[in-house]
Chain A
Amino acid sequence: MSQPPSITLRVPEDTESNGQEPSPDSEGALHTSFQQLIQEQSSLMEASLKLEMQERGRETPAHLPPPDFCAIGSPGQGEQHLGYSSTSLQILATMPSRTIGRSRGAIISQFYNRTARLRHRSSRPPLHQLCRVARTSFWQYDLENDPDRATLEDKRRLLVKELLSLSPSQRSHMLLTVPLSLAEKHFLRQELSRQRGPLGQHTQHRTPSYPCGGSKDYIVLGLRCLWYRLLTLLPAAQPWHYSLKEISGRFGSSVLSYFVFLKTLLMFNIFPFLILLVFVVALQAAYPPASATPQPFTGLELLTGAGYFTHSLLYYGYYSNITLNDPCASSPNSSMCPLAAPWLPYNMSLAYVFSVGISFLVTCILLVYSMSRSFGESYRVGSSTGDVAVKVFCAWDFKVIQRHSVKLQCENIYTQLKVQQDQQARGSSQRQQEAILLVLPFVVSLLNVLMPHLYNLLALWEKQDLPVTQLYVAICRNLILKMAVLGLLCYQWLSRRVVCSTAECWETCVGQDLYRFVVMDFIFTLLDTLFGELVWRLILEKRLKRKQRPEFDIARNVLELIYGQTLTWLGVLFAPLLPAVQTLKLLLLFYIKKTSLMQNCQSPSKPWQASHMRLVFVSLLCFPCFLGAAVFLSYTIWSVRPSETCGPFQGLETIYKSGKTWVQVLEKSSPNITWFTWVHQHLVESPFLLFVVSAVLLAVIYFNIQVVRGQRRIICLLKEQIAKEGEDKIFLIQKLHSVYEYRERHA
């Protein structure tokens, strides 16, 4: 369709063009003079619109807007050069930059070349082929097939042929990402399945949601099918879909990010809960220890976690340190035991420590994966914030659908643009004792609730320049407060200065303390929602007669969620059912917060970068909180002496010793697996491995930093190149026009 000008142009032999050849001396002058021509050119290009549309024949002429002459720069240059010949306009109209997304043929041939390149390409494409971005352009390096000359049908055939040669996952990815209409995609898919022959018929009989074809990628695709089917079966996902839609419709993406974060935390809690349930709790419930009689149940236990709950599945003290299904171990006459050892001995202490370890490992993996994903979404090499262009194109939140919220959004955008412009023109007897135990959690939660409000007042007084800085400062302050409080509490628990109700089983005591903290935190969140939002709104409306409702403070709420989650992680070792409590709490919190949000709040007026914030929240969750909890846990397992009379690690020096004794027992019982003990001794226990792993990690980090640096440099170079290419283009067009003009004049 389009032909490079060098082929059709029959440049006359005389010196007209020679005279216009820029000599190296005058090239500078020539370039500056082209700046003027650029502006003339842009107005000229609109004239070729009509011609292009007629040629394409896709757009009905009735709907064409009249060619829009964008007058850029000084109005003095408004002279329209409409006198250029029709052939040169024709050539202009077929320029690659005009055909983006317009003609089907262009898209098909571009994707044909993309798939061809995908097939031929090695792991890292060379620099000159770095144009992986979806731009429809006719210029390809692969001229042997020359798809430009083919008709639409031929192009389709070529594309189908290429797609057939790809693997199914790549094929489905290509199908999904090609910007054609759905009818076209249906046609392509039918062509593909038709040409795949008997194998294709097999897939046509089924109706899968995703292509599950027969090839070596079948397993991956099959798993993905299964996963999506499971997701649709999840009952919890369905009702929340509509709630989330409602929330985002009224309040936008920013507030939605809080609720999505809550949902993510729920997921983080369900996994350890299930692991602990299956391996620890259920089995201990099936083999209850013959221990002290339980105390009667009163209502206060739900708050304090003591009393009836002390000797129950909720806490560490209940769990036994024996092999569960071995009847010899629990009977008093252990010397006279005629029965043989059981078939599948279940050692409770090992199970306990491994379950806790594995749940932490799973949480760690999930966190790191989630963090890397949000990092990939939110970090761009060479990105800069505060661009007006970005604000114009990306500020509109398409999720907002309520009229009032839309109006608010318009006002927000207006305010932001105006502010930016101004800135430029010149971011218990026994019950009483139990009740007293509530005092410390009460004080801590009160502190956690009041201090953020104080920080907000402080921020008002400080008057930061950018609202973004204000936000970060607020998050930092709240985080430091919470970390300080938690650090002190951890120290207190580990040093055992607190007087527990059962002085001998200190782990249960600590577990109870943590349970109380979690419950208190929940109550205070409820109270804060009640007073901070409901009552405040009533005060604003009735007393002060202002139309404004209180805002939903996203940062504060998210930090509260993170704090609650940290408490859960700290307490998992001492109270295995704590993730279940946290799950319940999060479920209730979702509905309460949503109700309060709908009734009382208005959308936030400060700008909010949703995906960047997601990264910040998840990394806050990971780094201080999870790592801190992991450090606390590791210290407890390695160095702290468990109590003598209760729990699965009774009588051992440290919890870690249970693993070591098991390894020794294994060694004694079956001498064939000495390699396992050797591995354990040399890899797990020695610090050598740790050094090696740290060194490798550092090397990988350094390598990645260098790669990022190199990419930044490449981006700068490419930008310069693009600017130069633009100038080249203008120059060539000018040349073209002048040649045609000359020919016409002398025809």
Chain B
Amino acid sequence: QDCTFFTRKEILRLHGRYYEMAPNVVPMDYTKDPDVKLPMQLIINMPELKENPFKERIVESFSEGGEGSLSFNDFVDMFSVLSEMAPRELKAIYAFKIYDFNTDNFICKSDLEQTLNKLTREELTAEEITLVCEKVIEEADMDGDGKLGFADFENMISKAPDFLSTFHIRI
């Protein structure tokens, strides 16, 4: 409870939500620290995540080993980082993980293309996508390696005061 940004009441509420998703699997009693993980399919059907184009990436970034099933700890962790009270640096770290589709610790051009496709539901033409990707890399890449490292990403995020309010899911 003191490792997240939630109060006791909110954590109990989160537990209720977690339980509702799979009542026959999730135990009500967590004092013995059971090892229960819900698969990704169940979690991305939550109303808060259902319509989000990045839902799979979000769930993968918070799961152990990156394969997408969340234990209750990971579940709470996810919503804690996405809550209002998480600081900017922490959100930036996880946002970087989310946008890094091929998990190579760099946001390269293919990651950008995938991001853009998800954002615009594939309505931009291929040339437009290429143009936008090049412009993004040109603007954000500072050390000249052609892709965005975490430092570049964070620098760019710091210029966007809206990041804190948009990277926020209410639960």
Contact B2–A172 (Cβ < 8 Å): yes
A146 to B9, CA, bound (A): 42
B43 located at the interface, meaning its Cβ lies under 8 Å from any Cβ of chain A in the complex: no
B side interface size, CB within 8 A: 89
**Cβ–Cβ < 8 Å partners of B47 in chain A:** 401
- In contact, A189 and B146 (Cβ under 8 angstroms): no
Please give, as numbers and ranges, the residues of chain B lying within 8 Å of A38 by CB-CB distance: 144-146
Which chain A residues (22-72) contact chain B, with CB distance < 8 Å? 35, 38-39, 41-42, 45-46, 49, 58-60, 63, 65, 68, 70-72
- For the complex, is B110 an interface residue (Cβ under 8 Å from A)? yes
Q: Is the CB of B145 within 8 A of A100?
A: no
- Interface check A176, CB cutoff 8 A: yes
A267 CB-CB contact with B under 8 Å:
no
Q: In the complex, A362 Cα to B62 Cα: how many Å? A: 43
Q: Is A387 within 8 A of B161, CB to CB?
A: no
Q: Check A97–B105 contact: CB distance below 8 A.
A: yes
Min CB–CB distance B87 → chain A (angstroms): 6
* A65→B108 CA distance, assembly (Å): 14
A-B contact pairs, 6 of them (CB 8 A): A68-B108, A70-B109, A97-B149, A97-B150, A101-B105, A393-B95
Does B54 reach chain A (CB closer than 8 Å)? yes
Q: Evaluate contact between A209 and B159: CB separation under 8 angstroms.
A: no
Which of these, B80, B82, B123, B158, contacts A414 with CB under 8 Å?
A: B123
Contact flag A58-B65 (CB < 8 Å), given A97-B150, A209-B7, A232-B9 = yes
For A100, what are the chain B residues with a Cβ–Cβ distance below 8 Å?
93, 96, 105, 149-150
A665 CB–B CB distance under 8 Å: no
A543 to B96, CA, bound (A): 49
By a CB distance below 8 angstroms, the chain B residues around A729 are 143, 145
For A725, the chain B residues whose CB sits under 8 A away are 143
A401 touches B48 (CB 8 A): yes
User: In the complex, which residues of chain A have a beta carbon less than 8 angstroms from the beta carbon of B3?
Assistant: 175-176, 182, 185-186, 189
A contact patch SS: helix
Question: Quick one: CB contact mask for B1-42 with A, threshold 8 Å, 1 for yes?
Answer: 111110111000000000000000000000000000000000
Contact in complex: A410, B168 (CB < 8 Å): no
- Min Cβ gap A239→B in Å is 14
Task: Return the 9 tightest CB-CB contacts between A and B, nearest first.
Answer: A726-B143, A182-B73, A185-B3, A378-B161, A70-B108, A406-B51, A414-B120, A182-B77, A394-B160
A59 touching B145 by the CB < 8 A rule? no
Known: A133-B154, A387-B159, A417-B124. A395 touches B166 (CB 8 A): yes
Question: A175-B2, A401-B52, A729-B143 are contacts. A63–B156 as well, Cβ < 8 Å?
Answer: no
**Measured between alpha carbons, how far is A473 from B130 in the docked complex, in Å?**
35
Alpha-carbon distance between A719 and B155 when the two chains are bound, in angstroms? 10
Contact of A609 among B67, B95, B162 (CB under 8 A): B162
Nearest chain A CB to B140 CB, angstrom units: 4
Q: How far is the CA of A41 from the CA of B146 in the complex (A)?
A: 10
- Could you tell me if A102 and B166 are in contact, using CB atoms closer than 8 angstroms? no
CA–CA, A377 and B165, complex, Å: 10
Known: A379-B161, A398-B166, A401-B50. A393 touches B146 (CB 8 A): no
In the complex, residue of chain B having the shortest beta-carbon distance to the beta carbon of A231: B7
B54 in contact with A396 (CB, 8 Å):
yes
Q: Closest CB-CB distance, A482 to chain B, in whole Å? A: 27
Which of B135, B160, B169 lies in contact with A393, CB distance below 8 A? B160
Pair count A-B, CB < 8 A = 260
Whether B161 and A612, one on each chain, are in contact in the complex, defined by CB atoms closer than 8 angstroms, is: yes
| CB of A635 within 8 Å of the partner chain | no
Complex CA distance for A247 and B106, rounded to whole angstroms: 35
Cα separation A185 to B132 with both chains bound (whole Å): 39
Interface residues of A in 202-238 (CB under 8 A from B): 207-211, 228, 232
Provide the A367-381 mask, 1 if CB < 8 A to any CB of B, else 0: 000000000011110
Residues of B near A719 (CB, < 8 A) are 142
Cα–Cα, bound, A424→B1 (Å): 50
With A and B bound together, what is the CA distance between A387 and B139 in angstroms?
8
Residues of B within 8 A of A253 (CB): 162, 165-166, 168
- Interface: B59 (CB within 8 A): no
Contact assessment for A60 and B67 in the assembled complex, using a CB-CB cutoff below 8 Å: yes
A436 within 8 A of B: no
CB of A663 closer than 8 Å to a CB of B = no
Contact of A186 among B73, B144, B145, B165 (CB under 8 A): B73
Q: Does A164 lie at the interface of the complex (its beta carbon under 8 Å from any beta carbon of B)?
A: no
The answer to whether A102 and B136 touch across the interface, beta carbons within 8 angstroms, is no
A727 to B145, CA, bound (A): 9
Q: Once the chains bind, are A388 and B161 in contact (CB under 8 Å)?
A: no
Residues 89-140 of A contacting B (Cβ, < 8 Å): 97-102, 133-135
Min CB distance A407 to B, Å, is 8
Q: Known contacts being A39-B146, A46-B104, is A248 close to B170, with CB within 8 Å?
A: yes
Asked whether A101 lies within 8 Å of B97 as measured between CB atoms, the reply is: yes
Complex-state Cα separation, A393 to B99, whole angstroms: 8
* Smallest CB gap from A609: residue in B: B162
A394 / chain B contacts, CB cutoff of 8 Å: 157, 160, 162-163, 166-167
Q: B39 CB to closest chain A CB, in angstroms?
A: 14
A413 at the interface (CB under 8 A from B): yes
What are the residues of chain A within 8 A of B106 when measuring CB–CB? 45, 97
In the complex, what residues of B have CB within 8 A of residue A70's CB?
A: 108-110, 146-147
A540 CB–B CB distance under 8 Å: no
Bitwise interface map of B from 77 to 107 toward A, beta carbon under 8 Å scored 1, else 0: 1001010000101101111110101111110
Cβ of A421 and Cβ of B132 under 8 Å apart? yes
| CA of A393 to CA of B109, assembled, Å | 14
Contact call A244/B163, Cβ cutoff below 8 A: no
Question: Are A179 and B105 in contact, CB atoms less than 8 angstroms apart?
Answer: no
Contact B145 A730 (CB under 8 A): yes
A383, CB-defined interface residue at 8 Å: yes
Determine the chain B residues whose CB is within 8 A of the CB of A98 once the complex forms: 104-105
Known: A181-B64, A402-B51. A42 touches B142 (CB 8 A): no
Chain B residues with CB under 8 Å of A389's CB are: 135-136, 139-140, 156
The interface centre, meaning the residue of A177, A181, A382, A394 with most chain B CB atoms within 10 A of its CB, is A394
Residue of A nearest to B110 (CB): A68
Residues of A within 8 A of B9 (CB): 232
A72 near B146: Cβ-Cβ < 8 Å: yes
Determine whether B151 belongs to the interface, using a CB cutoff of 8 Å to chain A.
Answer: yes
Q: Is A545 engaged at the interface, CB distance under 8 Å to the other chain?
A: no
The reply on B119 being an interface residue by CB < 8 A is yes
A175 surroundings in chain B (CB, below 8 A) = 2-3
